[in-house]
Amino acid sequence: MTEQLTIAMPKGRIFEEAAELLRTAGYTLPPEFDDSRKLIIDVAEENFRFILSKPMDVATYVEHGVADLGIAGKDVLLEEERDVYELLDLKISPCYLAVAGLPGTKMNDVAPKVATKYPKVAEAFFREQGEQVEIIKLNGSIELAPLIGLSDRIVDIVSTGRTLKENGLVEFETITPITSRLIVNPVSYRMKDERISAMVNALSKVI
Amino acid sequence: MSRLFMFEKPLGMRDSLPDIYETKQHVRSALEGEIRQWGYQFIGTPTLEYYETVGTASAILDQQLFKLLDREGHTLVLRPDMTAPIARVAASKLLKDDLPFRLAYSANVFRAQQREGGRPAEFEQVGVECIGDGTVSADGEMIALAISSLKEAGLKDFQLSVGNAGFVRELFLQILGTEERVQELTRFLYEKNYVGYREHVKSLPLSSIDSQRLLAFLELRGGPEVIGRALDLVENEEGKEAVLQLERLWEIITDYGAASHIKFDLTLVSHMSYYTGILFEIYSGKVGFPIGNGGRYDGLLQKFGKSTSATGFAFRLDRLIEALGELDETVPVSCILFSAERRKEACLLANKQRTSGQRVVLQDISGVKNIDACTSKYNDVTFLVGKAGKEPDHD
């Protein structure tokens, strides 16, 4: 009997894409995970346990070792700076972090305001540009902020750019490209190294 | 700032209630006993040190230090580890003759929390330092003693990953050429960002052979077979010597009969090049964080004015206890409930039981409001109440 691997995954599209990737890599997973309300899904064939969490929380579960592995967006890793191994770029769910705002507007000279779900990333980005900004943390619908006068700019994930367009916003700068990464708890990386190395090898052949 | 409730403690500070206190005591004495048997002498150092001396010499990041000011305006730190204070004592007081010095400690250390709970800001470390011995034998002794102490504490499921910071340095320096580039690449290792490491290597103007060597480096994990693969990657003498150190280490650990607990992981590094040679981390399957770590830090003593080599390790008592799981170590405590007229009899009985090693509570019955709650709290209750001369009633 092999040791169980606990894998933290974001709910939704990334989960489906990651599951497909694991199937292609030769793992036997059920063709469909239908009961979407379950938070813990066991796959007996492979002795996997999937934990379904909010994307922002995946790295937290892995850092504390309650999950051995996780699939997390690079955006989450940049923002959360968790002590985990980032082993593979799975190249799924590509998108990028960008600065956006209303067309033709300039940032306020005295107190430029930036609304974002990613306060650390945003602050670091503007600081490197030689600019001190005031960060306003929002949890969603970031596009609203410039429309109703809460901020001059937003920092957010852009995948197709449609949401920005439909709300009359334009991109000013790209911060960094984002894809999903395979992350591993440092202790699991040592204590379950054979199973984890096998997975890394199998996945890297199909990416 | 919101008003504090009277039950609140600063972030990361924890109480040790009787059960956990007892467990800690038990595990600590098992570790200390083994460490003493290897001839190490325990010492204590102050909780407060100067920021300029111990604070900056320590391996702990600046933002994790608790700082305060003394009356002269000097910045003080709550000691974030014990290695730097011991280096200070050793360099200034102890190292008189050129003999290896073996010191040990159990002490609380302090590391401020950055963002959230789940990690204590004050915790106990039990550790050793072997100062003035630069041989691989001393490195081997650290690992063997760590393993032996853990066994003594009752831990079965654990593993040590062993690397060599000197090897990483030599390999990188030889391929990359400059100190700046070495630090840049080492940073990816320290941050555990292998995706970034690979991208960075591919972006460097290197021959494809050199790129390959740097990428193959990430695979240097496993049993003694890793040594051969590591030897193939380095070309200069210093690099080869660093690998041969690991080969000798493997032989030494085998001589100690402890090789089944160690694996090599040459990607193991520390920040700010604190560790200079062989280094290791200790893991247990039940805990998500390392339960201890150690290594050779030949540069530290020099900061305190004495250039000599040193190596050591420390266990984190809180994580080790978590790894040990439920310890059924509750020692029975009995209670003698007495009334005033039979106090003398009660004292004599208590004395007798205590002399034989039992834990005995002597309680005046008029101070107890709820007798049932009192009797259920103790393993054994003797009533010495009422008229003298009656046989004691056992509950």
B335-384, CATH topology level: Rossmann fold (3.40.50)
Residue with tokens 């201890």: B292
Query: CB distance A187–B161 less than 8 Å?
Result: no
* CA B200 – CA B216 distance, rounded (Å): 14
Q: Between the CA of residue A125 and those of A128, A176, B27, B196, what are the distances in Å?
A: 5, 10, 47, 18
Q: What stretch(es) of chain B map to CATH 3.30.930.10?
A: 18-324
Q: In the prediction, which pLDDT does B74 show?
A: 96
Average pLDDT, chain B: 92
Residues of chain B with CATH 3.40.50.12590: 335-384
Q: In CATH terms, are A5-93+179-206 and A95-177 the same topology?
A: yes
Of A66, A89, A193, nearest to B288 by CB-CB distance is: A66
Q: pLDDT digit string (tens) for B44-101?
A: 999 999 999 999 999 888 889 999 999 999 999 999 999 999 999 999 888 877 789 9
- Beta-bridge partner residues of A158: A96
Comparing alpha-carbon positions, the chain A residue that sits nearest to B193 is A86
> Which CATH number describes the domain made up of A5-93+179-206?
3.40.190.10
Looking at residue B360, its pLDDT comes to 96
Per-residue pLDDT at B393: 53
**Cβ–Cβ under 8 Å, residues B165 and B295:** yes
| B184 and chain A in contact, CB less than 8 A | no
Contact B250, B160 (CB under 8 A): no
Query: What are the distances in angstroms from CA A162 to CA A139, A167, A171, A172?
Result: 19, 9, 11, 15
Residue B260's φ and ψ, nearest 5 degrees, are -70, -15
Q: What angle do CA B221, B222, B226 make, to 5 degrees?
A: 75
ipTM of predicted complex: 0.89
Question: Does B270 score more than 90 pLDDT?
Answer: no
Picking from A11-15, A140-144, A145-149, B358-362, which range would have the lowest pLDDT averaged per residue? Answer: A11-15
Average pLDDT over residues B181-191: 94
CA distance B337 to B314: 45
Q: Within 13 A of A184's CA, how many CA atoms are on the CB side?
A: 23
Domain ranges of chain A: 5-93+179-206, 95-177
Closest CB to B285 among A63, A88, A191: A191
According to the model, what pLDDT value does residue B394 have? 55
B181 vs B202: CA distance, rounded Å: 14
**Residue B83 to residues A183, B79, B219, B275, B311: CA-CA distances in angstroms?**
32, 10, 31, 12, 10
Tokens of B165: 């910071």
CB within 8 Å of A175: residues ≥ 6 apart: A96, A97, A98, A99, A121, A125, A155
Q: What average pLDDT does the segment B238-246 reach?
A: 95
A73, A56 contact by CB (below 8 A): no
Residues of chain B contacting residue A200, judged by C-beta atoms under 8 Å apart: none
Give the best residue of A69, A81, A190, A192 to mutate against chain B (max B CB count within 10 A).
A190
Q: Which residues of B are annotated as a binding site for L-histidine?
A: 81-83, 111, 125, 129, 274-275
The CATH number given to A95-177 is 3.40.190.10
CATH topology for B18-324 is BirA Bifunctional Protein; domain 2 (3.30.930)
Distance in Å, alpha carbon of A128 to nearest chain B alpha carbon: 18
* Contact flag B195-A88 (C-beta cutoff 8 Å): yes
Cβ distance of B192 and A185 shorter than 8 Å: no
The pLDDT of residue B392 is 52
Kindly report the nearest CA distance between residue A103 and chain B, in angstroms. 34
> What integer best gives the mean pLDDT of chain A?
93
The whole-angstrom separation of Cα B328 and Cα A200 is 40
CB contact under 8 A, B288 and A83: no
